Amino acid sequence: MRMRRSVLVLLLFLIFILQGTILPWLLPDAWELRIIPNLVFIVILFVTIYHHRHTALILGLSFGMLHDIVYYGRILGAHSFAMGLSAYLIGLIFQIPRAPLPLMMTVVLLGSLLEDSILFAIYSVFNLNQEPYNWALLNYMLPTMLFHFAIGLLLYIPVRRQLELLKKETRKEEPA
């Protein structure tokens, strides 16, 4: 059981690294300020649907905090709060271990919008952004949503398989 879970955490860490280093080179220049990739959050959404929302909450809080600390420009804790809370809320509403692909993709779209909106709200509360919500929505939240949708499709099979294995192991351990 320990092994599968650490595989999941390592996978998330690897995705976190790739998203900050390789992805900016792959994205076309014109998109770079319009798409704010958060691949870690996509995987956490998979966890919240197919595994459990509490695991997703902890993962969201810790990887959000990692992001906050590594890219510490103005404020700590914004990503941690946004990722943890939105993963938990999505899990609360949609947690279905047998969710089919279309439902999962809807969750990816909704979750990505929810997370970006919570972030926007936090920055607004601390008076760190001056742009209206409409502009932010059109300029980067919607493009990011579509990008996350595409990434969600790519990740669907490998991540779901990983989570099935994790579930099997947890189940085997429980009776013992």
Partner 1 sequence: MKLFKLFNNKRLFILLITLVMFIVVMGFSLGARKALSWPENFLRDTTGFVQSLFYKPAGYVAGFFQDIGNLHDLAEENERLKILAAQYARDKAVYNFTKAKIEDYQEKLNFKDAQKKLYDYELHIAQVISLTTEPSNSSVVIDLGSKDGIKPNMSVISVEGMVGVISQVSNFTSTVKLMTVMDANDPNSQPPIAATVLDKEGKSFGMIESYDQQTGMLKMNKIPVGDPIAVGDTIISSGGGGVYPRGLTIGTVKSVKVGEFGYTSTALIDPTADFQDWKDLFVVFTEERVE
119 counts as binding partner 1 under rule CB under 8 A: yes
Q: Which of 7, 10, 76, 93 binds partner 1 (CB under 8 A)?
A: 76
- Exposure class string for 90-119: b at 16+ Cβ within 10 A, else e: bbeebbeeebeeeebbebbebbbbbbbbbb
Contacts 24+ apart (CB under 8 A), 163-167: 163/8, 163/46, 163/47, 163/50, 163/51, 164/50, 165/4, 166/4, 166/5, 166/8, 166/51, 167/50, 167/51, 167/97
131 counts as binding partner 1 under rule CB under 8 A: yes
CA–CA separation, 84 vs 65, rounded Å? 10
129 counts as binding partner 1 under rule CB under 8 A: yes
Give the nearest distance from C-beta 17 to partner 1 in angstroms: 6
99 counts as binding partner 1 under rule CB under 8 A: no
Q: Which of 21, 102, 174, 175 binds partner 1 (CB under 8 A)?
A: 21
Q: Which of 9, 10, 101, 128 binds partner 1 (CB under 8 A)?
A: 128
127 counts as binding partner 1 under rule CB under 8 A: yes
Between residue 151 and residue 170, which ones bind partner 1 under the rule CB under 8 A?
none
133 counts as binding partner 1 under rule CB under 8 A: no
Q: Which two three-digit tokens encode residue 106?
A: 């809807």
Q: How many residues bind partner 1 (CB under 8 A)?
A: 40
80 counts as binding partner 1 under rule CB under 8 A: yes
Residue type, 12: L
Q: Which of 1, 7, 10, 69 binds partner 1 (CB under 8 A)?
A: 69
CA-based R_g, the chain, Å: 16
DSSP conformation class of 30: G
77 counts as binding partner 1 under rule CB under 8 A: yes
Which chain residues interact with partner 1 by CB under 8 A?
A: 17-18, 20-22, 24-26, 29, 32-33, 36, 66-67, 69-78, 80-81, 119-120, 122-123, 126-131, 135-136, 139-140
